[in-house]
Amino acid sequence: MTRILPSRFDMNVCSRFVKSLNEEDSKNIQDQVNSDLEVASVLFKAECSIHTSPSPGVQARPVYTPSTAKHFSPIKQSTTLTNKHRGNEVSTTPLLANSLSVHQLAAQGEMLYLATRIEQENVINHTDEEGLTPVMWAAAHGQIAVVEFLLQNGADPQLLGKGRESALSLACSKGYADIVKMLLDCGVDVNEYDWNGGTPLLYAVHGNHVQCVQMLLERGADPTIETDSGYNSMDLAVALGYRSVQQVIESHLLKLLQNIKE
**Residue 132 phi, psi (nearest 5):** -95, 140
pLDDT at res. 258: 86
C-alpha dihedral sign at 73, 77, 83, 86: negative
Distance CA 124, CA 112 (A): 14
| Cα angle 136, 140, 141; round to 5 | 120
DSSP annotation string for 144-201: HHHHHHHHHTT--TT---TT---HHHHHHHHT-HHHHHHHHHTT--TT---TTS--HH
Q: How confident is the model at residue 260 (pLDDT cuts 50, 70, 90)?
A: confident
On average, the pLDDT of the chain sits at: 74
Distance CA 142, CA 98 (A): 23
pLDDT at res. 7: 36
Q: How confident is the model at residue 154 (pLDDT cuts 50, 70, 90)?
A: very high
- Helices 10-23 and 29-45 meet at what angle, rounded to 10? 150
pLDDT at res. 231: 79
Own/partner long-range contacts of 240-248 (Cβ < 8 Å, ≥24 apart): 240/37, 240/40, 240/205, 240/206, 240/208, 241/37, 242/205, 242/208, 244/208, 244/210, 245/205, 245/208, 245/209, 245/210, 245/213, 248/210, 248/213, 248/214, 248/217
Closest to 148 measured CA to CA, from 173, 125, 122, 181:
181
With a cut of 80, say whether residue 11 has pLDDT above it: no
Distance CA 9, CA 170 (A): 9
With a cut of 80, say whether residue 130 has pLDDT above it: yes
* Structural domains of the chain, with CATH: 10-261 (1.25.40.20)
C-alpha dihedral sign at 123, 138, 108, 40: negative
pLDDT at res. 92: 53
Q: What is the pTM of this model?
A: 0.69
